[in-house]
Amino acid sequence: MLVKAQGARCKYQDPFCSLCWNALAWPVQAFSKPKTGLPLSLFDGACRLKPLVYACMQVSIAAQEVCLTNLVIKGAETQQFVVDVGQGSSVKMEGCQVEGGNADGGAVGVRGDEKSPWDSSSFAARNSSMRSASGRGLWVREGGSVGLEGCTSKGCGKDGWVVGEGSRLVVWKSSTQGNMGNGLLVHGKGSNATASACSFSRNKASNVVVQLGAEATLRERCMCENSNFGSGLNVIGKGSNARASNCLFSGNMKTNVAVQDGAAALLQEGCECDDSQQGNGLLVIGKGSTAIASDCSFINNKMTNVVVKDGAAVRLQEGCKCDRSEDHGLGVTGKGSTATASACSFSRNKKANVCAQKGAAAVLQEGCKCDGSKEGNGLVVIDKGSTATASACSISRNMLTNVIVEGGATAVLQEGCKCESSKAGSGVKSGSGSMLSVRDCSLTGNKHRPTHIQWTQTMEAQLVKAIGHMS
């Protein structure tokens, strides 16, 4: 059964004229009577002027297809959802405004069947707004499927859009802004969201959160900016996965992109994670957490541009820039934490451009630049168990010593590294109990001469063993 509803001002200036009143006979199965005391006007398309409809609607009949056009739909605050799409239903909405719903629900709810996800209910909206002062703009649950184009959710009391376990959301040129919770929350095993050319901005918590085994894909210049208290993108928990290409994660209060507790993220094709107000550009933390970035920027963040911590792993591939942080360019901390970089820039940071400490490992491959630290070193390797290796890299023109190895750490510089022109230190320096190997490298033009270590066969064997897993 196909039900159509279109709102407009009647040509007779009477919302209850015979032409429009007769149309109310057939959509009554799909809609409940209004609870707000305002007139219910559902037209069949005969009237096509400006929208003038206030209704409280509920769509929950199986095998029902409903089309809503140019409606202003307001529900009572006591109602869980204003538009509630039940299992087996199909709703299409265009040019509508939906407002209301309580804290346990929101403006629009789409509920499917957990046993047959993605196919049991569907909701498609174009050029429509969904707002709930107490709840969520949109909540997709239990295997529901939703598509949005040109839609907005602003000023909701909780999250803008929520995608629950086993559900799917596809959005294009849409936005969530200024919500009290997250802009987009994707949570639960089997949940999936894909956003293209969308804006998630100025939300009080994080702009986008992916957790509890969910997946999300952001592409075509999605913008996740200026969260009030959270991150631009936050990926949490084992099995959670996020992919972003050519997207903007900038100006957020905390870390622009965070990957935690065994989650994974892939950033590529020009993603920008810049100008965090109080956090990092990229934070990867916790055993099993991984991130891969290619041709991305992590620039001018308040804290370290890229942090790898507590057993996490990061690979920065060609073209990544980690420059001009108020702290380090790359910080790798904790036993089991590893960072590998190839042809990347870690330059002009306030402190050390690259720092590996507390048992962490850093690998800088061909073409990396760790130049021009404003107040610190180019490469710092400290603490027992910490290791670093650099091949054909530039570690030059830093304010202090270009490469410093202390506290029982181990480092190897080889195959054409340049550690030149330190402004107030030496090219390389190794402290007591630490191991430093410099092979086929340039150490010219530094303020002070480098320290010298006399190698024995035993020490060389220890060094090779220490860094063998990094080669």
* Averaged pLDDT, groups of 10, the chain, 471 residues long: 44 36 30 33 33 41 66 82 83 90 94 64 91 96 93 97 96 97 97 97 97 97 96 98 98 97 96 97 98 98 98 97 97 98 97 98 96 97 97 96 96 94 93 91 86 45 52 43
Q: Is residue 34 part of a domain?
A: no
pLDDT tens string 132-149: 999 999 999 988 999 999
Q: Is residue 110 part of a domain?
A: no
CA 420 to chain CA centroid, Å, is 38
* pLDDT value at residue 70: 85
Q: Is residue 215 part of a domain?
A: no
Q: Is residue 291 part of a domain?
A: no
Q: Is residue 275 part of a domain?
A: no
Q: Is residue 445 part of a domain?
A: yes
* pLDDT value at residue 194: 97
* pLDDT value at residue 449: 76
* pLDDT value at residue 120: 59
Q: Determine contact, residues 151/176, Cβ cutoff 8 Å.
A: no
Residue 89 exposed, middle or buried by CB count within 10 Å (0-12, 13-18, 19+): buried
pLDDT tens string 235-254: 999 999 999 999 999 999 99
- In the chain, how many domains are there? 1
Q: Is residue 418 part of a domain?
A: yes
CA 151 to chain CA centroid, Å, is 20
Q: Determine contact, residues 409/356, Cβ cutoff 8 Å.
A: yes
* Torsions phi, psi for 4 (to 5 deg): -115, 140
Q: Which domain holds residue 462?
A: 313-471
Q: Is residue 416 part of a domain?
A: yes
* pLDDT value at residue 25: 27
